[in-house]
Amino acid sequence: MNELKLLREWDADAPPLTDTARARARFRLHQAMQAPTAPKAVGRRPLLRIAVAAVAAAAVTTTVVVAENTGTSPRTQPVSAATVLRGAAAEARSLEKPIAPRDDQFIYTKEIIKETPVGGGRSKTYVDESWDSVDGSKKSYVSELGYTQWVPPDQPGQSSWPPRRWSQLKQLPTEPGRLSIALRDLGGEPDYGQPVEADDWPMVQVFLSGLLRKAVLPKGLRPAAFEALATVPGIKLLPGRTDAEGRTGLGIQYVGKPGMPWADGGPVLVFDAKTYQYLGMRNKRSAGGKTYEQWSYMAVNAVVDRVMQRP
């Protein structure tokens, strides 16, 4: 099997994989297992190369109704997923306020999550407040769907995605192309001379989407993530989507190739149809034999000096 080539690079004396590197390895293994035929080795990655059309295919153009401030009736205007994401980058760049939290501080977030059972039932709203240690050296207090817990300080070599530590976020490039390569090569030294290839894009978009869920990011990183996401093949525009407050906007969703992860579509990012400002996320969650439609958005974020302190 061609996948065995991956094992030849294994070093028995190497330190254990980080959580991020392990996630990448599992994802690549899943891709290899889904390959219908033995892949042909190309370049330095012997995995199956997914056939991808030109860069233009990364953004599916759709006609949506855009209301203009002219007092007249709305007109139709072609808008692409790439246009929305680049507009979101410009909006984020104009709104972002540079911050430099100290290592002894905490990132406070207040997230609103609304859930409705698929097929009908009572909706429920969660207000999740969390305090994350800036450098991971202190206990954090987090809430998820109303469940709260203390999270112990990071252990040596421990990592997660998106990074909890501000210092790790600061190391990520703020140039879109370099950011995509850095995420492809997480757990190792980025090879900026090697472009992102077809089989790398699905995992890159997972890391980009996860990064965008962080409430607070270093200056320039959120706009770069939006612009990088605009180049991912499989990103599609979904008109007429609503956010957690019922406002109608434009949805952006990654849809994987048949037989690959997210073939049925991943979470939907919702943007304002006029300004392209990011409004929140739509997703689905399964638990206890039930599936829930989920809407979420970040209501408040700030840097504070201690746990339980609110801005």
Is residue 226 a contact partner of residue 57, using CB atoms and an 8 Å limit? no
Tens of pLDDT, residue by residue over 188-243, are: 899 999 999 988 999 999 999 999 989 899 999 999 999 999 999 999 999 999 98
Provide the 3-class DSSP secondary structure of residue 66.
strand
Is residue 283 a contact partner of residue 301, using CB atoms and an 8 Å limit? no
Q: Would you state the pLDDT for residue 245?
A: 86
Closest CA to 28 of 186, 264, 199: 199
User: 84 to each of 36, 191, 220, 268, how far by Cα in Å?
Assistant: 34, 29, 18, 13
Closest CA to 217 of 128, 93, 82: 93
Is residue 173 a contact partner of residue 222, using CB atoms and an 8 Å limit? no
How do the domains of the chain map onto residue ranges?
2-304
For residues 54 and 169, the model is more confident at 169
Question: How many CA within 13 A on the CB side of residue 14?
Answer: 10
Q: Would you state the pLDDT for residue 1?
A: 42
Q: Would you state the pLDDT for residue 260?
A: 73
The listed range with the strongest mean pLDDT (74-88, 160-174, 269-283) is 269-283
**Stretch 259-285: mean pLDDT, rounded?**
89
End-to-end CA gap in the chain:
56
Structure tokens at 107: 């990132």
Tens of pLDDT, residue by residue over 38-74, are: 333 333 232 222 222 222 233 333 334 333 333 433 3
Distance CA 56, CA 28 (A): 25
* Angle at the Cα of 115 from the Cα atoms of 112 and 119, rounded to 5 degrees: 165
Q: Would you state the pLDDT for residue 275?
A: 95
Closest CA to 276 of 224, 226, 236: 226
- At residue 14 the predicted structure's pLDDT band, cuts being 50, 70 and 90, is very low
pLDDT above 70 covers a percentage of the chain that reads 75
Residue 282 CB: number of other CB atoms within 10 A? 20
Is residue 65 a contact partner of residue 24, using CB atoms and an 8 Å limit? no
Closest CA to 212 of 272, 278, 165: 278
Tokens 């190497």 correspond to 14
267 DSSP 8-state letter: -
Q: Would you state the pLDDT for residue 77?
A: 52
Distance CA 272, CA 306 (A): 34
Q: Which residues pair with 250 in a beta bridge?
A: 239, 271
Give the global pTM: 0.75
Distance CA 48, CA 53 (A): 16
Distance CA 87, CA 275 (A): 7
